[in-house]
Amino acid sequence: MTEKKPFYITTPIYYPSAKLHIGHAYCTTIADSIARFHRLAGEDVFFLTGSDEHGQKIQEKAEAEGVTPIEYTDKIVAGFQNLWQRLNISNDDFIRTTQKRHEKVVQEIFRRIYAKGDIYKGSYKGLYCTPCESYWTEHQLDENGCCPDCHRPVQEVAEEAYFFKMSNYQDKILAYIEENPDFIQPASRRNEMINFIKQGLEDLCISRTSFDWGIPVPIDEKHVIYVWFDALTNYLTPIGFLDDPEKFNKFWPADLHLVGKEIVRFHTIIWPCILMALDLPLPKKVYGHGWLIVDGDKMSKSKGNVVDPIALIDEFGADAIRYFLLREINLGQDGNFSRDALIQRINSDLANDLGNLLHRTLNMIGKFQDGIVLAPQGESEIDASLKADAAETVQFFDENMQKMELSLTIKKVWAFISRANKYIDETAPWALAKEPEKKQELANVMYNLVESLRHISVLIAPFMPITAERIWQQLNLPQAFAEVQLDDIRAWGGTPADLKVGTPEQLFPRIEVEKEEQPTKQPKANKQKKEKKADKKDDSGEVTFDEFSKLQLRVAKVLAAEKIPETDKLLKLKVDLGSEQRELVSGIANHYEPSELIGKNVVMVANLKPAKIRGVVSHGMVLAASQGDDLKVVSVDMPVGAVVK
């Protein structure tokens, strides 16, 4: 058996000064999706996240709350782990820098570099930012004399300390970055680091004596090891740096350190210098992602503009949050978080596009073929086109996920979902079902739809793992979803014939946003005029041409239809008017199954005032003709948007 290719990916270890916000969830969701993709591609993945728990800031917060630092961090870190569980993060290990296994690693690294002569004792007098745990020289401060990272005041400190001779590695790290253009990504971050190094690297203070919440320096226990020297080495601990050389040699160097852009400098300058001092290879890639912006400002615990991811998960579900973050934001760039945009994506992409495709497909198989997927025979040009699109999508997915083009990949998968929905309109299975001689053609269409959904389930698995498995289960495919690999969808035809599909269940209910209309006050004079006009109303039942001409009758295509719960007669329709899409309620459920209406070009009253019916804002009315118990909607062979006169 061929040994799997290893892939080691890490997130930053998060600082437990407060609860995590949606920006942290964004970073970890990116890493999780990349890890899930590499597992899907058949690789042996090790995915690490964790918490960075030492330092002066933590000690001060614990003292303020009247607890010990470990009691303080235990509580906060439990919240981290709960969030990752709620978001379905598939990390293989969770490192805490307070763990004994890590303390041993940090102290051994200190000993080795000290023995090499690259650590020395001195005294430090300089400028220190407690929130960032960073030392700065005066020329590095911002224009207000504050920390260049968080823009808060720094304080002057003076104390005995140990220093790491980072200046010894300045030329070596600069040459490495210039000779390995893929090491720092995106390119804009790489250029920033090159400029920073060229200003000159100073030796790094790596111990403190003014507080004691940290790992003791092994040769001088009145010192504790400064947080960055402690934190960065976390990446070595879980893969066996001290106790499992086989595992360590398998996974190191890391394939990807995923970090926020504000800590790229620590990961691409300080960390590589430490590794060079240890004679260890550098990580293959450090990727600095952008920030989540709220109202034009970076999301930050200190600024108080954070969005709580737990509340969002409770309201919308983890997969919807994951989808929005990964689709909406191009990796490496800043992205705006908006509740309205999230709801719009859920309604359009998840409820309408993906949810409707699954629901329509399973409903039609249940109605037309007793829930059985029959074996396909032959293919039409439309069938061949769908299969070609599927193959192209799988290839695109593979190539672009390797390049971490997450947003681009998701958009491509959704283009295939739209293609599958269009395939239903093109083949009109409801019409085929009415002609017995087209039974095989109908069977081909139903098979191709299930096979499309099988592909889609695998393709969305890195981004929306729970939804992907729910689709797989509703299709009732025999293969265990946990065992599925990307290779399983490289060829068409993996759905077994005579498969009995499951019962359709709604993936993503639409979210209705009610807009309160403010009543406008009418002047009394105008009101009296209107009342007088009403007195002159013609009660004959006839309307004038001018009155009739106010009605706007237009051709609309039914895109989706579903029964409104707890009603017998009402259907909710989504229609396309050419220039826009709308929802409306129609009392025709006793005469039509929802799937029969999809694809029909109907006549509707387009300028009917919106009304809320059973929680649905209905904007329009479909025309129908009735005689006795029989009713038919008025349908025409005219293009969408055509005016009916």
Indicate if 601 and 482 belong to the same structural domain.
Answer: no
284 in any annotated domain = yes
What contacts 24+ positions apart, CB below 8 Å, involve 242-246?
A: 242/104, 242/105, 242/108
CATH number at residue 55: 3.40.50.620
322, 401, 508, 509 from 407: Cα distances, Å? 11, 10, 20, 23
The stretch 370-391 carries a mean pLDDT of 97
Do 333 and 290 touch, CB atoms closer than 8 A?
yes
Rounded distance between C-alpha atoms, residue 507 and residue 419, angstroms: 19
Indicate if 482 and 572 belong to the same structural domain.
Answer: no
157 in any annotated domain = no
153 in any annotated domain = no
Q: What's residue 545's pLDDT?
A: 60
Using DSSP bridges, classify how beta strands 286-289 and 207-208 pair: parallel, antiparallel or unpaired.
unpaired
Indicate if 563 and 476 belong to the same structural domain.
Answer: no
For the segment 202-257, what is each residue's pLDDT rounded down to a tens digit? 999 999 998 899 999 999 989 999 878 999 999 999 999 999 999 999 999 999 99
Using DSSP bridges, classify how beta strands 155-164 and 204-205 pair: parallel, antiparallel or unpaired.
antiparallel
The stretch 297-305 carries a mean pLDDT of 62
For the segment 518-561, what is each residue's pLDDT rounded down to a tens digit? 444 444 444 444 444 434 444 445 666 666 767 888 889 999 89
441 in any annotated domain = yes
324 in any annotated domain = no
Its domain, for residue 463, covers: 351-500
Model-level pTM? 0.78
- Does residue 475 carry a pLDDT above 70? yes
Q: What's residue 481's pLDDT?
A: 97
> Does residue 205 have a known ligand-binding role?
no
Q: What's residue 303's pLDDT?
A: 62
> Does residue 150 have a known ligand-binding role?
yes
Question: Which of these three, 236, 269, 298, is where a domain ends?
Answer: 298
> Does residue 132 have a known ligand-binding role?
yes
Rounded distance between C-alpha atoms, residue 270 and residue 282, angstroms: 11
Indicate if 72 and 171 belong to the same structural domain.
Answer: yes
Question: Which of these three, 298, 330, 361, is where a domain ends?
Answer: 298
Do 87 and 313 touch, CB atoms closer than 8 A?
yes
- Does residue 318 carry a pLDDT above 90? yes
Indicate if 96 and 185 belong to the same structural domain.
Answer: yes
Strand, helix or coil at 220?
strand
303 in any annotated domain = no
Nearest-CA neighbor of 132 among 153, 113, 162? 153
Indicate if 23 and 104 belong to the same structural domain.
Answer: yes
Q: What's residue 70's pLDDT?
A: 96
Q: What's residue 526's pLDDT?
A: 46
160 in any annotated domain = no
Indicate if 558 and 413 belong to the same structural domain.
Answer: no
The stretch 91-111 carries a mean pLDDT of 98
Indicate if 554 and 492 belong to the same structural domain.
Answer: no
- Does residue 598 carry a pLDDT above 80? yes
321 in any annotated domain = no
Indicate if 464 and 361 belong to the same structural domain.
Answer: yes
CATH number at residue 604: 2.40.50.140
Rounded distance between C-alpha atoms, residue 234 and residue 391, angstroms: 41
> Does residue 129 have a known ligand-binding role?
yes
Rounded distance between C-alpha atoms, residue 486 and residue 242, angstroms: 35
What is the phi/psi pair of residue 580, to 5°? -160, 165
With pLDDT > 90 as the criterion, what percentage of the chain qualifies? 66
Indicate if 172 and 271 belong to the same structural domain.
Answer: yes
Rounded distance between C-alpha atoms, residue 436 and residue 254, angstroms: 60
Do 558 and 542 touch, CB atoms closer than 8 A?
no
Type of residue found at 313: I
**Ramachandran class of 341: left when φ > 0, alpha when ψ lies in -120 to 50, beta otherwise:** alpha
Residue 162: count of CB within 10 angstroms of its CB: 25
The stretch 317-325 carries a mean pLDDT of 96
CATH number at residue 355: 1.10.730.10
Residue 470: count of CB within 10 angstroms of its CB: 17
Domain tally, the chain = 3
Among 128-137, 293-302, 494-503, the minimum mean pLDDT is found in 293-302
Query: Residue 551 is encoded by which pair of tokens?
Result: 């009605």
Indicate if 282 and 392 belong to the same structural domain.
Answer: no
Indicate if 207 and 281 belong to the same structural domain.
Answer: yes
Question: Which of these three, 446, 465, 500, is where a domain ends?
Answer: 500
Type of residue found at 390: A
